Structure 1
Amino acid sequence: MSNIAGKAYAMNVITPIRWYTVWLNKLIFWIALKKPSTLKGLITLSLIHYARWVIIGRKQFPHLDPKQPREELNYSYMLFFSNFNGSWDQYVDSFTFAIPGGLDLFWKWNIRYPKSVPLTPFHNYIRYNQIETIHYYNAYPLAASNDIKSAKAVKDALIAFQKQPLDASDEAFMKRYNALVRGLQHDLGEMHPTPIISMSAYQVQRRQRWHDGRLKQEIAEQAMLDRGMELANSTNSKGEQHGR
């Protein structure tokens, strides 16, 4: 599975929608763009990189060759794309709690949409219609969305600091520098590899280590450590018996 790249997860959901209600969905999307306050709960979720809804009409799928049979589709399709940090359940639950009414509006006319509440039917609906990602590239695999925002804040602050006059006294410079560091305290965190958020992610990482040769080395090193511990315990046990 390639849904996971570093700390990010890629979600793709394709759901059928009645073709004669597409115009209603597009109107709702237009209103949401014109009034961002309708998505305020979603925008405040820091774990989300982005979220996008797109509707493809039943006659808009590409026809690549004259020999390709024309598709007679009964439905149009709504595509939902999103990247986020954290586990699948955390993300879907956060969406439900942040904009339950918005989700119901966006998916209202989709076939067999169960509503966002209660959670279990909504989870089942998303799982059933989710398409696995074949390839997923992440430019900053160790960075969550908040790390990227912090990096931008640090960069902007350093550029502004550099533009200040250089003819000030040492005391004045140190005062400005200390103020800069204090102001960036919440943006100077160290990044670390992602924790295991699912067994799927664990297996992806394990396979990668195996192909790199790291897993064999780790297994051999662990075996040596275990053998060393056995010998040490055996020696200690014999020493205790001899002391008696």
Structure 2
Amino acid sequence: MSNLAGKAYGMNVLTPMRPGRTWINNLLFMAARALPKTLSGLLGLGFIHFARWVIIRRDQWPQLGQPKADLANDYMLFCSNFNGTWDQYIDAFADGIPGGLDLFWYSSTKYPNSIPITPFKNYIRANQIDTGYYYNATPGSGQRDIKLALKLGHDLAQVADRAGVLRDSELAAAFERLLIANQGGLGSPGYAPVASCDTAAADRNRADAELGLWGERGTGAIEADRALEPIPMQAVLASSAGDDDASQAAVRAVADAVLSSNRPGDPPKARDPEDPSPPPPAPDSGEERHG
């Protein structure tokens, strides 16, 4: 099952919307951005890595050489990554922001509302598209594991910087305080308990496929230029402490550059002023949350 990658699950849901009602959802997303408290129940769910709603109009689908489709509907794409099972995620979502879900899917055709939960789960399942390829750099760690590890690294670096000027007793006391403050982040990463036989079979099948492609009889890793550490480690550690706004802003800026078509440090690509063709249309974006 390609929706799974270690502890994480990748979800994609595509729901049709009547074109005459798309503007309503655009207005609702604008209101949600202006009033972030409407998403407070979602922001408190620490097992969610990422959630995003995107409105794609019927004339905005990418053309990759296929015949142009004559679509009758606009669509809303919902993408999310989370730890835990599918049922746990839907239950937590419906419990956390039932009113928000009903607003975000307000214009979607045949949307049944998030309460009661069974029709809502059936609707999500009917419109979910399985993930074709799902990569997770830390399959044995959840979002909390990574944040706690970053905090531990940050605190260790602070103690190490002071180690040369501390007496043995002071260093021991500082290290003990560090352990007490970080005891919740000292667990060993690893896979979560198997949620089902399908999950266990998916892990075995994925391992066999990866071994066949990259193992002894495989072709080896793809050769490509990669920036292995586009964000300096010290900047990442400083931003994880939660009290260094400048470091957090620097990490966000570099991450945006990595995710864009430009490499970090390259100037943004400008359009050719002699190019008469209009820029490609971008889908209307809805509400976004980063964990």
Q: If the length of structure 1 is used for normalisation, what is the TM-score? A: 0.81
| 1:74 CA drift (Å) | 1.1
The residue type paired with residue 29 of structure 1 is F
CA contact (8 A) 1:87 1:198 kept: no
Once residues 27 and 137 of structure 2 are traced to their aligned partners in structure 1, the CA distance between those partners, rounded to angstroms, is 34
**Residue 25 (str. 1) matches residue 29 (str. 2):** no
| 1:128 CA drift (Å) | 0.2
Matching residue of 1:233: none
The residue type paired with residue 10 of structure 2 is A
Matching residue of 1:42: 42
Matching residue of 2:57: 57
Once residues 177 and 35 of structure 1 are traced to their aligned partners in structure 2, the CA distance between those partners, rounded to angstroms, is 42
| 1:195 CA drift (Å) | 1.7
| Alignment equivalent of 2:155, drawn from 154, 157, 167 | 157
Describe how 1:60-139 pairs up with structure 2 within 5 A. Answer: 60-65=60-65, 68-139=66-137
Cα deviation, 1:102-160, whole Å, max 9, x if unaligned, reads 00000011000000000110010000000011110000000011101111111221222
Once residues 150 and 34 of structure 2 are traced to their aligned partners in structure 1, the CA distance between those partners, rounded to angstroms, is 27
Once residues 195 and 34 of structure 2 are traced to their aligned partners in structure 1, the CA distance between those partners, rounded to angstroms, is 36
Describe how 1:198-217 pairs up with structure 2 within 5 A. Answer: 198-208=196-206
The residue type paired with residue 149 of structure 2 is A
CA contact (8 A) 2:163 2:171 kept: no
| 1:162 CA drift (Å) | 2.6
**Percent identity at matched positions?**
46
Once residues 48 and 40 of structure 1 are traced to their aligned partners in structure 2, the CA distance between those partners, rounded to angstroms, is 13
Larger CA deviation: 102-111 vs 29-38: 29-38
Structure 1 or 2: more helix by fraction: 1
| Alignment equivalent of 2:183, drawn from 178, 182, 185 | 185
Gaps of 5+ in 2: 213-291
The residue type paired with residue 146 of structure 1 is R
CA contact (8 A) 2:50 2:81 kept: yes
Once residues 208 and 147 of structure 1 are traced to their aligned partners in structure 2, the CA distance between those partners, rounded to angstroms, is 23
The residue type paired with residue 35 of structure 2 is K
Q: Supply the RMSD in Å over aligned alpha carbons.
A: 1.8
| 1:34 CA drift (Å) | 2.9
The residue type paired with residue 4 of structure 2 is I
| 1:193 CA drift (Å) | 2.2
Once residues 43 and 191 of structure 2 are traced to their aligned partners in structure 1, the CA distance between those partners, rounded to angstroms, is 25
Gaps of 5+ in 1: 214-244
Once residues 206 and 18 of structure 2 are traced to their aligned partners in structure 1, the CA distance between those partners, rounded to angstroms, is 42
Larger CA deviation: 75-84 vs 156-165: 156-165
The residue type paired with residue 117 of structure 2 is L
